[in-house]
Amino acid sequence: MFVEFCIQIFLVLTILILYLAWTRLHPKLTKQKFVFLFFFCSLIIILCMSYPVKYHSGIIMDLRIIPWMVSFLYGGFFVGIPTTLIMFIYGFFVDGTSIGYIIFSHIIIIIFMLMIKKKFEESSYLNKLKYTSGVLLLHDVFVIFLLYINHSNMIYHSKLLISMGIIIVPILANWLVIFLIEAIQANEKFRLEMARSEKIHIVGQLAASVAHEVRNPITVVKGFMQLIQHDEEMSGRYHYYLQTMEKELDRATGIINDYLSLAKPQEGCTKIINMTELLQFVCQTLHSYAFINGVKLHCKAKKAYYVKGSIEKMQQLLVNIIKNGIEASPKESVMDLDILEEKKHILIKIRDYGQGMTAEQIEKAGMPFYTTKESGTGLGLMVCYQIVEAYNGKIHIDSELHKGTCFTIKLPAYNG
Ligand code: ADP
Ligand code: MG
Taking the centre of ligand 1 as the mean of its atom positions, its distance from the CA of residue 317, in whole angstroms, is 13
Contact 71, 178 (CB under 8 A): no
Indicate whether 268 pLDDT > 80.
Answer: no
| Residue 161, pLDDT score | 74
Kindly state if the Cβ of 368 falls inside 6 Å of ligand 1.
no
pLDDT at residue 325, as a whole number: 96
- Least confident range from 26-30, 106-110, 242-246, 266-270: namely 266-270
Q: Is 367 in the pocket of ligand 1 (CB under 6 A)?
A: no
What is the per-residue pLDDT across 344-402, written as a single tens digit (0 to 9) for each?
899 999 999 999 999 889 988 988 889 999 888 888 998 899 899 889 999 999 999 99
**Residue 96: how many other CB atoms lie within 10 Å:** 9
**Which region among 165-174, 232-241, 283-292 has the lowest average model confidence (pLDDT)?**
232-241
CA of 20 to the centre of ligand 2 (A): 34
Buried b (16+ CB within 10 A) or exposed e, 220-230: eebeeeeeeee
Count of CB atoms situated within 10 Å of the CB of 72:
24
Is 316 close to ligand 1, i.e. is its CB under 6 Å away? no
pLDDT band of 13, cuts 50, 70, 90: confident
Q: Is the CB of 268 under 6 A from ligand 1?
A: no
Mean pLDDT of the residues in the chain: 87
pLDDT computed for residue 298 by the predictor: 95
- Higher per-residue confidence, 260 vs 76: 76
- How far apart, in Å, are the Cα atoms of 184 and each of 181, 190, 367, 410? 5, 10, 22, 24
Ligand 1 atom nearest residue 407's Cα = 23
325 lines ligand 1 (CB under 6 A): yes
Q: Within 13 A of 269's CA, how many CA atoms are on the CB side?
A: 2
**Per-residue pLDDT at 263:** 64
The DSSP code sequence of 207-230 is HHHHHHHHHHHHHHHHHHHHHHHT
**Higher pLDDT pick, 205 / 80:** 80
Could you tell me which residue, 34 or 211, shows the higher pLDDT?
Answer: 34
The pLDDT tens digits of the residues spanning 121-136 come to 888 888 999 999 999 9
Residues 6+ apart with CB under 8 A from 51: 4, 7, 8, 11, 62
75-89 mean pLDDT = 93
Find, among 215, 410, 249, the residue nearest to 321 by Cα: 410
Cα(258) to ligand 2 centroid in Å equals: 9
CA of 338 to the centre of ligand 2 (A): 20
Mean pLDDT, rounded, for 26-30: 69
Nearest C-alpha to atom 3 of ligand 1 is from which residue? 376
Query: Residues of the chain with pLDDT > 70: what percent?
Result: 96
Higher-confidence residue: 216 or 96?
216
- Tell me the pLDDT tens digit for each residue of 312-340: 889 889 999 999 999 999 999 999 999 99
Q: For residue range 161-187, list pLDDT tens digits in order.
A: 777 888 888 999 999 999 988 888 888
Averaged pLDDT for residues 3-15: 86
Which of 350, 353, 355 is closest to 397 using CA atoms? 350
> What's the pLDDT band for 239 if we cut at 50, 70, 90?
confident
In angstroms, what is the span from residue 122 Cα to ligand 1's centroid?
A: 25
The Å distance, Cα 371 to ligand 1 centre, comes to 6
SS3 347: strand
Contact 256, 218 (CB under 8 A): yes
Residue nearest to atom 22 of ligand 1 (CA): 325
Q: Which atom of ligand 1 is nearest to the CA of 350?
A: 23
Helix axes 169-229, 65-75, angle to 10 degrees: 20
Report the separation in Å between the CA atom of 186 and the middle of ligand 2, taken as the mean of its atom positions: 28
390 Cα to the center of ligand 1, angstroms: 21
Phi, psi (deg, nearest 5) at residue 307: -135, 165
For ligand 1, atom 18, which residue shows the shortest CA distance?
A: 324
Q: Whose CA is nearest to atom 2 of ligand 1?
A: 376
E strand spans, 237-344: 271-274, 295-299, 306-309, 333-342
* Top mutation candidate among 333, 371, 384, 401 for ligand 1, by most atoms within 8 Å of CB: 371
Q: Which residue has the higher pLDDT, 195 or 134?
A: 134
pLDDT at 193: 78
pLDDT higher at 257 or 8 = 8
Quick one: average pLDDT of 269-292? 91
